Structure 1
Amino acid sequence: MQVVSIINHKGGVGKTTLTANLGAGLAARGRRVLLLDLDSQASLTVSFFTPPEWAEQLLPERTIKHWFDGLDDGTALESPGGLVATPRRVREKLSRSPGRLDLIAAHRDLSDMDTILAAQLMSAPERFVDLHSRLRAGLEHPAFAEYDVALIDCAPNFGLIARNAVAASDLLLIPTKPDYLSTNGIDSLGLKIREFVDEYNARSLEQITRPPASVVFTMVQLHDDQPIEAQRAVMSRIEAGGVAPLSTTIRDSKAVYGPAPEYGVPVILGGTGRALTRELRDLVSEVSAQIDGTEGMAA
């Protein structure tokens, strides 16, 4: 299974929309996809399950928080596969595809969990690897052997749980609006990831590699089918920097993307917004090629 984290410590850049549509698009092409929601705001979760479904069916004992429960006393999660839920509406849309889309939901207390784990690290720095490898080790459980791809929707920070995602990842996608404020933190995020991987490897016998990263431009404003001039200038600066962007960009369309979570079906499966659907499919093709490439390197 290839693990892809969608990460940016800047919020409001379309991270969850990208994750939902990429996961659904991969599943429509026959891949078995597992989504993990690491953000306490739970936007990815409620894009597939209604708030009552989340509260009644998932919050009690089937969330990503339960994956991290027990780290304080070293207790292992016996069956992480029991946390998986299947969104009914998407399953119906994928009924003719051999692919599937499943989800491990977020929990409201994830940010508190992040703080608790960080405090444990402060008091017991010798537990660095244990605290940062919970997600990586869990994804290697036989319960997940049937999945081809895991997509991790990270919270807009670089806390301990987000670092768990990096340690587990084969590939990073960094969604960003092509404006100054949204792109300003990309270099610092790259530096933090590099420092974390170096520290992890200095403390662990099992080495990890720094995952390759790509920027995905989201919320692009078009004029005559081209990004507006101000955004083109920002995109050019990123292209000249250290993290290469994908060639596919995602246009700004609140009228299409905004209502989609309410219906529990991502735009790529919903049959609305033909131009948006086309570019989302192009994005799926491009990311699929990257996933296949990282899989080949791992082999």
Structure 2
Amino acid sequence: MGLINVDLELATELGGATLKQGKKNYIRVHRRLAKGLDAIDPRKYELVLIDCPPNFNIVTKTAIVASSHILIPAKPDYLSTLGIDYLIRALDGLVNDFNEYAELDSDHLEKPISPERLGVVFTMVQEYGGGPISTIRPFMAQTGQLGVSVFKAYIKENKTMFADAPQYGVPVALLPESNATRQSVIQGIEEFVTEFEERLGLE
């Protein structure tokens, strides 16, 4: 596993003195992360995961341009549901803008992008009686009406486990299964990973 940092000053490079130069800068900046990933030996990694901030800034945009699939983690509440709708519209707008600028490339070196929406995975899900609590079920159901697929599996809430994991320097899924609650959380993670791999065709 490897970790890389992202240049947070990308936005300063988007300006251009002319419309033509501005469009060139747009492509160059938005392709920065993709260009870096292209330089990685494909035999070294089977899968590259890009963790983005919960907003649609230039860092997130460069990640989308570099990606073949988009996974949307979300908390099942009112504001997060609104955010998913906004993200989908913003994602479609970014793809359209990038592809429009790519077509104007006189050298025809830029390929259009078409990242596939892998779906929404709900996180921090509180359970009662073996399923999500009643107050969040409507938000989970509503998300399925936004035109985006929703994972059947979800990440369960457990403040103790997720708080302790960084202290021990290991992922939650590798913590000792000391009780039924921990086993349930880990089972939920494993179910998500299985569904994730199935959707990517990595089985």
- TM-score tier after normalising by the smaller chain length: 0.7 to 0.9
Residue identity opposite 1:157 in structure 2: N
Deviation at 1:282, TM superposition (A): 0.7
Equivalent residue runs for 1:179-258 within 5 Å: 179-204=77-102, 205-258=110-163
Deviation at 1:145, TM superposition (A): 3.2
Residue identity opposite 1:165 in structure 2: A
2:30 to 126, 129, 132: 132
Contact kept in structure 2, 1:193 and 1:210, CA below 8 Å: no
**How many angstroms apart in 2 are the aligned matches of 1:216 and 1:284?**
11
Residue aligned with 1:150, SS? coil
Equivalent in the alignment of 1:145: 43
**How many angstroms apart in 2 are the aligned matches of 1:240 and 1:201?**
27
Equivalent in the alignment of 1:275: 184
Equivalent in the alignment of 2:106: none
Residue identity opposite 1:199 in structure 2: D
Residue aligned with 1:153, SS? coil
How many residues align structurally? 187
**How many angstroms apart in 1 are the aligned matches of 2:40 and 2:65?**
19
Residue aligned with 2:138, SS? helix
Residue identity opposite 1:286 in structure 2: E
TM-score (ref. length: structure 1) = 0.59
Contact kept in structure 1, 2:119 and 2:148, CA below 8 Å: yes
Distance 1:171 1:141, change over 3 A: same
Spell out, residue by residue over 1:41-85, the C-alpha distance to the aligned partner (whole angstroms, 9 max, x if none): xxxxxxxxxxxxxxxxxxxxxxxxxxxxxxxxxxxxxxxxxxxxx
Contact kept in structure 1, 2:10 and 2:58, CA below 8 Å: yes
Equivalent in the alignment of 2:194: 285
Q: Please tell me whether Structure 1 or Structure 2 has the larger radius of gyration of its CA atoms.
A: 2
Deviation at 1:138, TM superposition (A): 1.7
Residue identity opposite 1:122 in structure 2: G
Q: Does 2:158 match 1:259? A: no
Equivalent residue runs for 1:18-167 within 5 Å: 102-106=1-5, 113-114=7-8, 116-123=9-16, 124-125=21-22, 126-167=24-65
Deviation at 1:105, TM superposition (A): 4.1
Contact kept in structure 2, 1:194 and 1:210, CA below 8 Å: no
User: Structure 1, unaligned stretches of length 5 or more?
Assistant: 1-101
**How many angstroms apart in 2 are the aligned matches of 1:174 and 1:248?**
13
Identity over aligned residues, as a percent?
Answer: 33
**How many angstroms apart in 2 are the aligned matches of 1:121 and 1:105?**
22
Deviation at 1:257, TM superposition (A): 1.1
